[in-house]
Amino acid sequence: DSRDAAKAGRDTRSGPTAVTLVDDELETAVGATACRLRERASERAKMAASVRDHQMFSGRGSARQDQDQGPPGFSNRGAEAPSPGTVPVDVNAPPVMDDGAEGEVLELEHMIGFTGKNLDTIIAHPRLSEVYVKSVGSAVVVGDLNDPHNQEFLRGHDMEVTALAVSATGAFIASGQAGTTHRKGFGAPVIVWDFETRRPLLTLQGHTEKVNILRFSPDEKFLAACGQDLLLQIWDLQTGELILGKKFKQVVAMFQWCDVNQKGRRNVYDIAIGSSNNVALDQLYFDPARQQWILDGTSMAMPTAGMTRDYLCSSRSADGDELLAGTSVGDLLVFKLTSHVYRASVPVCSGGLRAIVVCPTTFVIYCGGGDGTVRKLRGDDMRWTLEGEAALDGAVTSMSMVSNGTELLVGTESGRMYRMLVDDLSSQLVSVGHTAEVTCVCFGTRSDVFASASSEGAIKVWDLNNYSVLAETRVTAPGGARCMCWIGDTAVVSGWEDHFVRCHDASTMQALWEIPNAHRGAVTTVATHSDASLSYVLSGGEDGSVRIWALRSRELMLQFVEHKKGVSQVLVDVKSPNLVHSAGLDCSVFTYDLRKERRCVAHMVREGAFTGLTQRLDSEQELVTCDMNGRLLFWDCDVPDPVQVLQSPQRMTMRCVSVSPTGRYLAICGDFLVNVFDLRGGVQLMAQGLGHSEPVRDLYWSPDEKQVISVGDDCCICVWNFYGAEI
């Protein structure tokens, strides 16, 4: 099965191989720096552990649970205040990153995602030809081009990772994020990671709003960061000290380390900086008189008129004599670094020149454009010729050359990642991701195939064996898809913001049929049932109605208008298909008998809009709802009030609840978290995982109960391995 294959893929992976460096002195210096940083990180970890131990001993920070209070982190006392043994989590604090360690019940196996909206967020490792680094939501993912199951996750950010950099030897990774909404000040920290150990070495503060650019110095002694807050900051990697901070009048859109020259005890660094219409060649040097680092220089000489450009990317020519800059109008600007003068403007593409990769051994460069093209140019100074071009799906936002020099890794705005041969520019698709909020996910009858849909109208059918897309389509409809389900394993039915219910063939994504204006508002939930005696489509909408449609003719069979607000979930009874259930935002749960054509059971509470509904297979086939107040409520058809209530002390909004195929486990999702409960012998929390950086919208069990798929507003799909059945 897919999980076993994934596990086998992980087990056979060897650790990072030794890297042979061209410069032995640089290797020694980098190794010494890494050792010092690891020692400091280890000391910080010991101090943090000591603080945690003190908090647990003093009762602060602990989550001790009495046996009669339900699962850890939850209370059986309904909407009452949390018990003294439960410490509620501060809702303003960032989530604790935990993707499930090896050997735990719930393990994050894979993250599917890449939006392509940030530049330079896919980078090939400079020494290992099969390894690459990319951003997926708030995580930095180290992937393997030859094994899609082999992913490692670097976690430390609490918002989307917006900038990445890998040092010249590949020893360090740097990542920057968008300004956090979990703390005051909208801080956007930068984290430096040790590639060998995959652990954080430094957390560098100072930026707010968003980090746009990260660049390691060629000798790996410094890291520069440019942000949306107009700041340029440079840190010493050996000490973590901020050596320079400068605020510009405009956002720094281009930063390029150039020559490194040794003068006395310290090096002098040439740096090209582009901000708005200005390009300057500055020097970073240490002033012994003032005992500080200084950045100053001169602007490049530009044409007197007609040259107004916004810069997007930059690189240096192979011989180091020229600065190559890409602009928003799609031309390549050439500057002579020795004379500080502008030399040429070469039209390359439309939509902006967003990525430049220079072949280190020839005068060939590769240009990625906003029009989705990659062009191969040869030349220097004012003489350039086009040697080839290729078209890809979506504007190019990231481009990097693999270490052996034979391929490029290209990322586009359509969420796609390609391998492209440098000789003929032929390409191979590596991965695909959603580029907007993923709103729903579901399995059919197969455990290795699932479907997902997004708010931009994209529907994709995925193969879990290699995480590839089997079929996809995009429906031009405002608001996109809200919900989906399968008909067997042949078709996917979806509900839409534009009031439509649509059905697509699962293998080709060809539209099979649609029900226009199925509701007077958005279609928020759909379900299907098909057997020899009864076949129908069940839908619920924002208008509060529940409607039953004939599966073959799509004619309206029945309608129930019991909810006063929108319907959040509809469900076919697990035992009697003539019974259907609905939960709504009006705090009510109803059961309808299709044969009698009337409502037969009603449950209501005073507060807590219901956001999800599922049904137990054991016990009395009780209904289970989750709500916006962080409660799980269990309903018996013969009892008007809930027979059991579990309350999250954080009162986090729960958005989905699902009983596993065997009926033993219950999964819920909410703000960032996926929780799994064991229903046997009571309701016990047995696993909790965090893979998303924004609220989780939906989750679904695989039919074999070995995996859980969750989707969220961060445009990511998380594939969780579940080992509960093996316990």
Handedness of CA 100, 102, 106, 110 (dihedral sign): positive
Q: Which helix (H) or strand (E) holds 52?
A: helix 24-58
Section 64-79 average pLDDT: 43
Q: How confident is the model at residue 653 (pLDDT cuts 50, 70, 90)?
A: confident
The one-letter amino acid at 42: S
Distance, C-alpha 653 to centroid of its chain: 20
Predicted TM-score (pTM) of this structure = 0.85
Cα torsion 104, 109, 114, 118: sign: positive
* Amino acid identity at 563: H
> Is there a domain that residue 453 lies in?
yes
For residue 578, is it within any domain?
A: yes
**Which of 213, 247, 281 is the endpoint of a domain?**
247
Question: Is residue 68 scored above 70 in pLDDT?
Answer: no
**Cα gap 210→253, rounded to integer Å:** 13
Q: What is the DSSP letter of 646?
A: E
Instruction: Supply the range of the domain harboring residue 39.
Output: 1-52+114-247
pLDDT > 90: what percent of the chain? 76
| Average pLDDT value over all residues in the chain | 87
Residues 120 and 144 in one domain: yes
- Residue in the block written with tokens 């890809």: 392
Q: Which of 329, 337, 259 is nearest to 300 (CA)?
A: 337
Closest CA to 495 of 527, 532, 535: 527
Does 216 map to a domain? yes
**pLDDT score for 41:** 58
| For residue 82, pLDDT beyond 50 | no
Domain end, chosen from 621, 645, 669, is at 645
Q: Domain check: are 623 and 575 in the same one? A: yes
Strands 172-177 and 190-194: antiparallel
Q: State pLDDT tens for residues 457-494.
A: 999 999 999 999 999 999 999 999 999 999 999 999 99
Whether residue 108 lies inside any domain: the answer is no
Residue 556 has what pLDDT?
97
146-163: b (≥16 Cβ within 10 Å) or e: eebbbbebbbbbbbbbbb
Given pLDDT bands bounded at 50, 70 and 90, which one contains residue 49? very low
SS3 sequence of 694-716:
CCEEEEEECCCCCEEEEEECCCC
**pLDDT band with cut points at 50, 70 and 90 for residue 680:** confident
Query: Reduced to 3 states, what is the DSSP secondary structure of residue 39?
Result: helix
Q: Left if phi > 0, otherwise alpha if psi is -120 to 50, otherwise beta: which for 462?
A: beta
* Distances, alpha carbon 242 to alpha carbons 180, 199, 237, 454, in Å: 21, 21, 9, 42
Conformational region of residue 425, where left means phi above 0, alpha means psi within -120 to 50, and beta covers everything else? left
In a domain, residue 716? The reply is no
pLDDT value at residue 72: 47
Confidence at 385, pLDDT banded by 50, 70, 90: very high
Cα–Cα dist 101/107, whole Å? 6
Q: How far is CA 53 from CA 9, 39, 90, 100, 608, in A?
A: 37, 21, 19, 22, 37
Q: Pick from 432, 449, 465: which residue ends a domain?
A: 432
Q: Give yes or no for residue 79 having a pLDDT over 50.
A: no
Residues 387 and 409 in one domain: yes
Residue 635 in this model has a pLDDT that exceeds 80: yes
Q: Residue 99 has what pLDDT?
A: 47
Average pLDDT on 166-181 reads 96
pLDDT value of position 555: 96
Q: State whether 219 and 336 are in the same domain.
A: no
* Better pLDDT: 77 or 340: 340
Q: Structurally, how many domains does the chain consist of?
A: 3
Q: What is the mean pLDDT of residues 410-439?
A: 96
The answer to whether position 388 is within a domain reads yes
Rounded to the nearest 5 degrees, what angle is found at the Cα of 133, between the Cα atoms of 471 and 698?
45
CA end-to-end span of the chain, whole Å?
19
193, exposed or middle or buried, with CB in 10 Å at 0-12, 13-18, 19+? buried
Residues 6+ apart with CB under 8 A from 422: 359, 364, 366, 376, 401, 405, 406, 407, 408
What pLDDT sits at residue 433?
95
State the CATH number of the domain containing residue 401.
2.130.10.10
The whole-number pLDDT of residue 619 equals 79
Q: Would you state the pLDDT for residue 658?
A: 97
pLDDT tens for each residue of 239-292: 999 999 999 999 999 999 999 998 878 999 999 999 888 899 999 999 999 999
More confident residue, 109 or 81: 109
List, for residues 539-569, the tens digit of each pLDDT value: 999 999 999 999 999 999 999 999 999 999 9
Residues 642, 633: contact at Cβ < 8 Å?
Answer: yes
Give the helix/strand (H/E) hosting 46: helix 24-58
Is the distance from CB of 132 to CB of 166 less than 8 angstroms?
Answer: no
230 and 291 share one domain: no
Q: In what order do the strands lie in the sheet with 427-432?
A: 396-401, 407-412, 416-421, 427-432
Going by their DSSP bridges, the two strands 501-505 and 511-515 should be labelled as: antiparallel
* Residue bearing the bigger pLDDT, 297 or 86: 297
502 & 376 share domain: no
Q: Within this chain, do residues 240 and 283 fall inside the same structural domain, yes or no?
A: no
* CB atoms near residue 10 (< 10 Å): 17
- What is the arithmetic mean of pLDDT over 589-598? 96
Determine the average pLDDT of the residues in 623-650. 92
Query: What's the whole-number mean pLDDT along residues 214-241?
Result: 97
Q: Please give the pLDDT value at position 162.
A: 97
Instruction: Give SS3 for 78.
Output: coil
Q: What is the pLDDT of residue 95?
A: 33
Residue 239 lies in a domain: yes
Judgement on whether residues 448 and 399 belong to the same structural domain of the protein: no
| Rounded CA separation 110/719 (Å) | 5
Same-domain check for residues 425 and 454: no
Give the residue among 299, 311, 214 at the shortest CA–CA distance from 257. Answer: 214
The band of 84, judged by pLDDT with boundaries at 50, 70 and 90, is: very low
Q: Which long-range contacts (CB under 8 A, 24 or more apart) does 403-407 make?
A: 403/124, 403/125, 403/126, 403/127, 403/128, 403/129, 404/129, 405/359, 405/360, 405/361
Mean pLDDT throughout 595-619?
94
**Could you tell me if 372 and 332 lie in one domain?**
yes
What is the pairing mode between strands 278-287 and 266-275?
antiparallel
DSSP 220: S
Check if the beta carbon of residue 293 is closer than 8 Å to that of residue 244. yes
Rounded distance between C-alpha atoms, residue 133 and residue 403, angstroms: 13
pLDDT band at residue 50 under the 50/70/90 scheme: very low
Same-domain pairing of 601 and 537: yes
pLDDT of residue 17: 32
Burial of 268 (0-12, 13-18, 19+ CB in 10 A): middle
Query: Is there a domain that residue 339 lies in?
Result: yes
Q: Which two tokens stand for residue 254?
A: 């281009």
Question: What pLDDT is attached to residue 562?
Answer: 95
Q: Mind listing the pLDDT tens digit for each residue in 142-152?
A: 999 999 999 99
Q: What is the pLDDT of residue 695?
A: 92
Task: Report how far residue 288's alpha carbon sits from residue 573's, in angstroms, rounded to the nearest whole number.
Answer: 79
| pLDDT, position 38 | 63
CA-derived radius of gyration, the chain: 28
pLDDT of 45 over the 60 cut: no
How many whole angstroms separate alpha carbon 287 and alpha carbon 300? 24
Burial grade of 302 (CB within 10 A; 0-12, 13-18, 19 or more): middle
Answer yes or no: is pLDDT of 346 > 60: yes
171 and 297 part of one domain: no
Give me the pLDDT at residue 4, please.
56
What percent of the chain lies above the pLDDT cut of 70?
Answer: 85
